[in-house]
Each structure stands twice: as structure tokens, then as C-alpha cells.
Structure 1
Amino acid sequence: MQISDNKVVTIHYTLTNTDGAVIDSSVSAEPLAYLHGAGNIVVGLESALAGKAAGDKLDVTVSPEEGYGEKHDELVQKVPTENFSGIETVEVGMQFMAEAPWGQQPVTVIKVEDDGITIDGNHPLAGETLQFAVEVVEVRDATQEEIEHGHVH
């Protein structure tokens, strides 16, 4: 069975950056199952998997545009330390949900200074070219419930 919309696809993958450093991998864990065509994975990888079948192995390079997008400087800003009242210690790398004009926005602390805390609302992999080594483990028809909910059950 070939990968197409409304198929549940199970893959093993290793994600590396352009320097070859491993960012994430399912190899020593459970494989990733997703609903093809539902936007559950980055568009560049989903496009490359279309038409593949169980047993296929492929290496896929995903540009920022087809991955997590370009980095947007306007999503990096310094905010008053008071915005973090009630939090004992704020450290670089911590993630929080912030209120943005469009709703909740995850942000990452990138700098802590006496006069404020710099946060970054970009996805941590924004601006990165992603390299995936993928093995398709299984392809099956999605259930009607999975299609209606937009994800694998």
C-alpha cells in the first residue's frame, strides 16, 4: 500500500541538522505514527513520503520554508522581569506560554539580564535546514474516526 492522504503511516526517523548533529530520533524508541495529509508532520517530509510504501528508506532534506519556517526577528523581544513574577528562577532554555495578539504562543528564554528577559517566539528549529533519514515501517488505511479527528488513535 502506498502512502497517500488518509493513510496512517508509521516511520522510524533520525533528524539531523546540516552539521550532522542528531536533533531527534525514533530509532531506539517506538516509531512515529501520523495521519498523512493532515499536517501532522512538516510539509517537506510529508511531501517526500507520498507514494512510498512499507520497507522504503529515504534521505530527505527539508528547507526552512517546508520545515518550521524562517526565523522572524520580530518574535525575539526583551520583556520586563516582572512578567515572570511567581517563578523563582528563570533560566536560558526555559519555555513558557505567552499571550500574543493571535492567542497563546510558546516562547523560549534566550537571555536573562538584570533589566529584562529576552524571549524568542520562533520554533526552536525555525531557519534550520532539516535532514531526515526515514524508514517506512507500515502504511494502513485510517479509520473514519482518525480522519475526522485529524490524527492517529
Structure 2
Amino acid sequence: MPFEKGSLVLVDYTAKVKDTNEVFETTREEEAKKTDLYDPTRKYEPRLVSVGEAWVLKGLDEALAKANVGDKLNVEVTPDKGFGERDPNKVRMIPQRKLGDKADEVQVGDVVELDDRTGIIRYIGSGRLQVDFNHRLAGKTLIYDVNVTKKLESDNDKVTALIKRRIPIEDEKVKFKLTGDSLEVELPEETYMAEGLQIIKRAVANDVFKFVTAVKNLKFVESYSAPKPAEKKEDKPAEAKAEAK
């Protein structure tokens, strides 16, 4: 039976550009190691998706809505259901000096931030830059090789996955207590200085209230431990000091 809208599912996938076979995203470590995408600090595992709610590209979302657990899908995503068509109006010529101190360092292919937009340098010459503000995959047809691995049914599974979606931590560091309509989440100490932590916690709360409807109250707990006292080095007896001389 196909998934209902809002079902939380785990999907394992590799995404490629159809024309070039370039892998641009994968949840599989072995696949990542074959490309320059590999990040040894990242944990590769199936991705959490809420079906039909635009957590992934429209073309993939539509395919997942018709899928079942255990299905292996080969999904072709056309530009209109992917990153859109290329817009020539988003390719601009700008003075090179607009990049400030980095103006003489940039090269064709570099990604730059200008006027709160991200663009790719396509041409440099005569003190000017051609910057393409289209998404780099705009106009491309994409191929997703997908395994639908699991549908989350229990509240505990949902809470664990929703926390990890916003806070990338190991499974064993996800600690919470669900009692009746109250959820208490204990954050690991290494997350306390994360940028935008308050926004992240609000997002986790919103996700939990939406997908775990039994929860009406959520509390985040932060625990700090006193540093261990430094061990004192024992002084050598006077006789030993004398012998050393």
C-alpha cells in the first residue's frame, strides 16, 4: 500500500546527472568514496523524508508517494520537477573589483557570494566577471537510484529520527524520555556551542509536535560536568633528590 502524505520514511539513494553520470549526492558511503564528494566526518546513512511535503525534489517526492517499503526505484527527475530550467537572466556581467580583496584570486568555476546570492564564475576578462546565479543543476535531468528501507511507525523511532535530522549526532547520543504527552530531550555537551542552537531546538520541537501528535510538551535538558582536578605529581623524597645530584 503506497505511503500516506506525511509518512516518515528512510531512503537510501545515489543521485546522478543523467547526461554526464556525475554523482552529486549520495547517502551511501561506498558510493561517496568513489567520488570527490566523500566527507570522512559525515555519517552516511538513509535519509529521513516526510512523503509529499517537499523535503526532497518534487520528482522524487512523487515517486515515493507511490512506493512501498523494500521498493528499489530508478527515478528520472526532469528539470521542471528538479532544480528548474536555466534562466539566462540570472547570468550577469559584473566589475571584478566588486569582489573586493579577493578580486585577483578568483578563477573560472569558483563559487562566490554576491548580494546575498550564490553564483558560479563562468568567465573572467578585461576586469569583468560573468557570474551565473542559476543553480548548478538547473536545466539538468537527474537520475535517483533509491532503496526505500523503512517506514517509521513508533513514536520513539520518529523522535530519534527527527532529532538527528536537525542535530547530526550518533545514535547512542540521542537521549530522551517520553512520558505520556511530555518529551524530555537531553542534548550532548558537544552541541551546546552549535551555531543557531536555539533555532535548531525550535525546529526540532515543531517537527516533533507535527509528527508525534501525542507530545504536547517538550523540554530540552543541558547538563554540565565539573572538570576533573588535575593529578598532582608526587615530589621525590629528599634522599632520592640527593642521590640524583
TM-score category by the smaller chain?
A: 0.7 to 0.9
Following superposition, the deviation at residue 148 of structure 1 comes to 6.2
Query: Is contact 1:55–1:135 with CA below 8 Å preserved after alignment?
Result: yes
Which whole-Å CA distance do the structure 1 matches of 2:71 and 2:84 have between them? Answer: 27
Which whole-Å CA distance do the structure 2 matches of 1:66 and 1:49 have between them? Answer: 14
Question: Which structure's relative contact order is higher, taking Cα pairs within 8 Å and 6+ residues apart?
Answer: 1
Q: Which residue of 2 aligns with 1:61?
A: 76
Counterpart of 1:13, as a letter, is Y
Q: Which residue of 2 aligns with 1:21?
A: 22
Q: Which residue of 2 aligns with 1:146?
A: 207
Following superposition, the deviation at residue 69 of structure 1 comes to 0.3
Aligned residue for 1:40, secondary structure, equals: coil
Higher mean alpha-carbon deviation, 116-125 vs 16-25, is at 16-25
Higher mean alpha-carbon deviation, 76-85 vs 20-29, is at 20-29
Which of these residues, 98, 102, 116, is aligned with residue 114 of structure 2? 98
**Could you give the per-residue CA deviations for residues 40-69 of structure 1, whole angstroms, max 9, x where no partner exists?**
211011001103222111101111000000
Query: Is contact 2:51–2:61 with CA below 8 Å preserved after alignment?
Result: yes
Following superposition, the deviation at residue 82 of structure 1 comes to 1.2
Q: Which residue of 2 aligns with 1:121?
A: 133
Higher helix share: 2
Is 1:80 the counterpart of 2:92 in the alignment?
no
Q: What TM-score does the superposition give when structure 1 sets the normalisation length?
A: 0.82
**Could you give the per-residue CA deviations for residues 98-135 of structure 1, whole angstroms, max 9, x where no partner exists?**
22xxxx32211222223211111111100001111100
Following superposition, the deviation at residue 147 of structure 1 comes to 6.4
**Larger of the two Rg values belongs to structure:** 2
Higher mean alpha-carbon deviation, 104-113 vs 125-134, is at 104-113
Identity across matched positions, percent: 27
Unaligned residue ranges in structure 2 (runs of 5+): 30-43, 160-204, 212-245
Aligned residue for 1:3, secondary structure, equals: coil
Unaligned residue ranges in structure 1 (runs of 5+): none
Which whole-Å CA distance do the structure 2 matches of 1:130 and 1:148 have between them? Answer: 34
Q: What TM-score does the superposition give when structure 2 sets the normalisation length?
A: 0.53
Query: Is contact 2:97–2:127 with CA below 8 Å preserved after alignment?
Result: no
Counterpart of 1:69, as a letter, is G
- CA 1:149 to 1:63, structure 2 compared with 1: closer, same or farther past 3 Å? same
Q: Which residue of 2 aligns with 1:9?
A: 9
Aligned residue for 1:84, secondary structure, equals: helix
Query: Is contact 1:9–1:35 with CA below 8 Å preserved after alignment?
Result: yes
Counterpart of 2:206, as a letter, is E
